[in-house]
């Protein structure tokens, strides 16, 4: 197999295949979740199909933010009233106790993530309280060997807050930077001097955090090819272990806060593509490995090593090294993956709190995987994580004849092969360096829920 980190920028292919498509943090994707399935049936199926001896991954959603970032498509609640946090946490603890009874079984928690919103919206005391509740309900590690991560807004954290976070047991941190240019920051209502981000990264290293991730967004208002190159150069000097470089999808009809962004201020499509091409070149020249889609990592980072060793996985938190973990998610809008079940909590804060108060859980909708879903999930996960698929392994795992089972998909794959996105032989489908940027489109060939030659309008553009 060719070098995984090799990328070839082919503008003709990008323009031809840059449609809209899923990010495949799950298969089936969330749009297939059924609100008519009962919580009891979803939980029962999850318990029946989960490996009760495997470790767990926990996700907690803290939805509150003090300020609105106009580009944001996350489920958040904008408020300066810190008193709103405690009632939410009280309901979260009630849900946590229920989920512990369903799934804990003394299973070790190898992965923990607090997302949002802004998890650091809550006070130090509330953070300690939240960890106490986690310890009371789940078997957290005490050897600092798990992946325990938290999302940070550098405007609402400092060196002293980082010390608290480390003392709690977190060893990974992810911070949003997006862009360092003041004009861009003002246009998206996120004014954040680089010194704030530098303080967080410096503190993380001094306190022994194992990994620092930085988020950037390309395609924001007033970004230029040169200005974003400056942003990337600045971040390279800060030397984070991982970077996520996201494409801004302007959908103001769907996300109200984006209506504050003036469409005419966005970079033209051609400039946006050049920004992405230059960003990839800058990061790879600086020694980062292209993991896939939006993600880059240093070659000695666990993500890069997992991909190299064929052990990378993908779930609702993105790329991960924990393929053996069921994902137990808590909080408003959070999505769990238990055995052969996905389900999502109520998306509205009030509905979530009412549901937990009434029945100690807030499951809104979900899906039970069929055998076909499991087969296709395996194929898509393999491709999106490793850019390489061995049909004989799928045949051995599921007892199918790959070529006949995927006859329709392989007709599309053959077209991709003609165009140079993949190479196909009797024993492999390998994504080419030119195809890796379009991996979402390649995966769509195996998606039974999307017509093979078109993309759903529900999804963002691939690039």
Q: List the chain domain ranges.
A: 1-28+371-463, 31-330
The pTM of the full predicted model, rounded to 2 decimals, is 0.93
Flag the least confident range among 4-18, 30-44, 50-64, 369-383: 4-18
333: pLDDT strictly greater than 90: yes
Give the residue among 323, 315, 318, 247 at the shortest CA–CA distance from 280.
Answer: 247
Q: How confident is the model at residue 5 (pLDDT cuts 50, 70, 90)?
A: low
For residue 19, the model assigns a pLDDT of 78
Flag the least confident range among 156-160, 163-167, 205-209, 240-244: 156-160
For residue 458, the model assigns a pLDDT of 59
For residue 20, the model assigns a pLDDT of 80
Tell me: the pLDDT tens digits for 360-416? Answer: 999 999 999 999 999 999 999 999 999 999 999 999 999 999 999 999 999 999 999
CATH class of domain segment(s) 31-330: alpha beta
189: pLDDT strictly greater than 80: yes
For residue 455, the model assigns a pLDDT of 47
Average pLDDT of the segment spanning 79-86: 95
For residue 452, the model assigns a pLDDT of 45
459: pLDDT strictly greater than 90: no
Whole-angstrom Cα distance, residue 168 to residue 139?
15
Give the residue among 300, 327, 233, 258 at the shortest CA–CA distance from 76.
Answer: 258
Per the document, the length of the chain is: 463
Whole-angstrom Cα distance, residue 25 to residue 28?
9
Give the rounded percent of residues in the chain with a pLDDT score beyond 70. 96
Contacts with 321 (C-beta within 8 Å, 6 or more apart), sequence order? 147, 302, 303, 306, 311, 312, 313
Whole-angstrom Cα distance, residue 444 to residue 246?
20
Give the residue among 269, 195, 202, 287 at the shortest CA–CA distance from 234.
Answer: 195
Average pLDDT of the segment spanning 205-233: 97
How far lies 232's CA from each of 47, 179, 236, 243, 297, in Å? 45, 8, 6, 10, 14
Assign a CATH topology to domain 1-28+371-463: Arc Repressor Mutant, subunit A (1.10.10)
More confident site: 12 or 346: 346
More confident site: 197 or 459: 197
Parallel/antiparallel/unpaired status of strands 422-425 and 388-389: unpaired
Tell me how far apart the 2 most distant CA atoms of the chain are, in Å: 62
For residue 1, the model assigns a pLDDT of 44
344: pLDDT strictly greater than 80: yes
Flag the least confident range among 4-8, 143-147, 209-213: 4-8
Q: What residues does 58 pair with on adjacent strands?
A: 112, 328
| Host H or E run for residue 423 | strand 422-425
456: pLDDT strictly greater than 50: no
For residue 328, the model assigns a pLDDT of 97
Q: What is the mean pLDDT of the chain?
A: 93
For residue 4, the model assigns a pLDDT of 54
Question: Would you call 405 helix, strand, or coil by DSSP?
Answer: helix
457: pLDDT strictly greater than 60: no
Average pLDDT of the segment spanning 421-444: 94
């Amino acid at each position: 197999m060719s070098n995984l980190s090799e990328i070839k920028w082919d503008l003709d292919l990008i323009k031809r295949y840059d449609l809209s498509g899923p990010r495949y943090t799950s298969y089936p994707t969330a749009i297939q979740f059924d609100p008519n399935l009962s919580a009891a049936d979803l939980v029962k199926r999850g318990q029946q199909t989960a490996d009760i001896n495997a470790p767990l991954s926990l996700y907690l959603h803290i939805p509150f933010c003090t300020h609105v970032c106009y580009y944001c498509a996350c489920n958040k609640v904008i408020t300066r009233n810190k008193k709103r946090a405690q009632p939410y946490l009280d309901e979260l603890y009630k849900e946590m106790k229920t989920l512990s009874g369903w799934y804990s079984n003394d299973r070790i928690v190898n992965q923990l993530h607090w997302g949002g919103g802004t998890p650091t919206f809550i006070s130090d005391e509330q953070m300690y309280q939240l960890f106490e509740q986690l310890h009371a309900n789940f078997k957290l590690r005490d050897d600092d060997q798990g992946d325990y991560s938290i999302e940070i807004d550098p405007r609402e954290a400092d060196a002293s807050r980082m010390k608290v976070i480390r003392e709690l047991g977190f060893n990974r941190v992810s911070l949003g930077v997006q862009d360092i240019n003041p004009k861009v920051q003002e246009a998206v209502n996120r004014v954040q001097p680089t010194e704030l981000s530098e303080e967080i990264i410096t503190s993380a290293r001094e306190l022994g955090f194992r990994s620092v991730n930085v988020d950037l967004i390309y395609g924001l208002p007033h970004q230029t090819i040169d200005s974003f190159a400056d942003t990337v150069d600045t971040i390279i000097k800060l030397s984070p272990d991982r970077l996520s470089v996201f494409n801004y999808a302007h959908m103001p009809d769907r996300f109200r806060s984006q209506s504050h962004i003036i469409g005419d201020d966005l970079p033209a499509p051609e400039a946006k593509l050049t920004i992405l091409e230059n960003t990839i070149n800058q990061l790879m020249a600086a020694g980062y490995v292209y993991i896939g889609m939006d993600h880059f990592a240093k070659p000695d980072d666990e993500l890069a090593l997992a991909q190299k060793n064929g052990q990378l996985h993908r779930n609702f938190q993105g790329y991960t090294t924990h393929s053996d973990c069921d994902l137990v998610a808590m909080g408003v809008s959070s999505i769990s993956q238990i055995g052969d079940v996905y389900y999502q909590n109520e998306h509205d804060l009030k509905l979530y709190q009412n549901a937990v108060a009434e029945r100690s859980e807030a499951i809104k909708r979900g899906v039970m995987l069929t055998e076909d879903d499991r087969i296709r999930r395996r194929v898509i996960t393999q491709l999106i994580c490793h850019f390489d698929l061995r049909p004989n392994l799928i045949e051995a795992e599921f007892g199918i004849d790959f070529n006949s089972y995927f006859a329709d998909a392989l007709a599309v794959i053959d077209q991709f092969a003609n165009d140079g996105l993949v190479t196909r032989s009797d024993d492999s489908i390998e994504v080419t360096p030119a195809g890796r940027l379009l991996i979402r489109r390649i995966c769509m060939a195996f998606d039974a829920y999307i017509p093979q030659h078109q993309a759903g309008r529900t999804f963002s553009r691939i690039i």
